[in-house]
Amino acid sequence: MANITAADVKKLRETTGAGMMDCKKALVEAEGNFDSAIEILRKKGQKIAAKRADRESTEGVAIAKINDDNTAGVAIVLACETDFVGKNDKFIALAGQFADIALNYADKESFLAADFGGMTVAEKLVEQTGVIGEKLDITSFERVEAAYVGSYVHINKIAALVGLSAAVDKADVLAKDLAMQAASMGATTLSYKDFDPAFIASELEARIAVIEKENIELGRLGKTLKNIPQYISMAQLTEDVLAKAEEDAKAELKAEGKPEKIWDRILPGKLERFISDNTTLDQEQCLLDQVFIKDDKKSVADYIKTYGDVEVTDFKRITLG
């Protein structure tokens, strides 16, 4: 029988992250052969991974990493089954190691096939499933490349990346603010110009149906009914639509008896309100059209203009679950 020393157990534990007793048992079974012991632990992980394959990995950690010259960034979610594991320092450190590797790859598939200390990332996930006893998985992988890339991570639950067209002065502040905006407000696209007309039409129909249902109950209770929208995106507000809105506003001012000489001071505010009331989809889902979280008097697009000649070229957002 091989003589298994405490130093052997310690070395195997540091290499694999497995528990002390598991390491000792593996070394005994392998008769002291270090590589065989690693293989034994790996096979144990495969068995546990197979048993837990149908489990949901909805906890874990979201992490973002940017390269040294701020021209590329990745955001990944290393998922597990419980919040207890997700908050563990070693688990978070493992996620950081994965993210460092992910930074060198363009997609999830090539990342999972990448080397991690003599095994692939995919194999490392299986190994650590055996060590931790919970299903581990990379449930999100996003990459952004641009002239300048910044990131923001919210309590290891949400991560966002933002790419800028130029590395302007204080680009780090701008990129972080925009990544924070994306993380906090959950935009799904950059601009209303990205929307498909069929999507806008279906969203409008769905919203009208919800409001009409709510109005039935409000009417029954004798409460003020909600306005039913005609439009929900700037993509629908054509020149003709805006011209009619202006004419309607003028007719309203005339009916109110407002002197025509002061209309020019009132009309811009009314049109701004019309646009705001009829672009709710944009405000919810389009990063540039949202109200800036640090200054509710500005849109995100207005905030970006304060930095000069720079645009957002891309952004990505990932979350647990």
The dotted CATH code for 59-186 is: 3.30.479.20
Euclidean distance between CA atoms 152 and 87, whole angstroms: 18
Predicted confidence (pLDDT) per residue in 54-68, tens digit: 667 789 999 999 999
3-state secondary structure of 168: coil
Give Cα 268 distance to the centre of its chain.
Answer: 36
Predicted confidence (pLDDT) per residue in 141-160, tens digit: 999 999 999 999 999 999 99
Place of tokens 């002390």: 20
Chain region(s) in the chain for CATH 1.10.8.10: 6-51
Average pLDDT, the chain: 89
The dotted CATH code for 6-51 is: 1.10.8.10
- pLDDT at residue 30, rounded to an integer: 74
pTM of the model as a whole: 0.77
Asked whether the CA dihedral 166, 171, 174, 179 is positive or negative, the reply is positive
Euclidean distance between CA atoms 251 and 245, whole angstroms: 10
Euclidean distance between CA atoms 142 and 145, whole angstroms: 10
pLDDT for 181 beyond 70: yes
Predicted confidence (pLDDT) per residue in 190-241, tens digit: 999 999 999 999 999 999 999 999 999 999 999 999 888 899 999 999 999 9
- pLDDT at residue 52, rounded to an integer: 59
pLDDT for 50 beyond 60: no
- pLDDT at residue 45, rounded to an integer: 62
Helix (H) or strand (E) holding 268: helix 263-277
State what percent of residues in the chain have pLDDT above 90. Answer: 68
Cβ-count burial 108-132 (b if 16+ within 10 Å, e if not):
beebbeeebeeeebbbbbbbbbbbb
Chain region(s) in the chain for CATH 3.30.479.20: 59-186
State what percent of residues in the chain have pLDDT above 70. Answer: 93
- pLDDT at residue 47, rounded to an integer: 58
Question: What is the mean pLDDT of the segment spanning 29-46?
Answer: 72
Contact present, 209 and 216 (Cβ < 8 Å):
no
Contact present, 149 and 71 (Cβ < 8 Å):
yes
Q: Which of 2-16, 67-81, 156-170, 264-278 has the lowest mean pLDDT?
A: 2-16
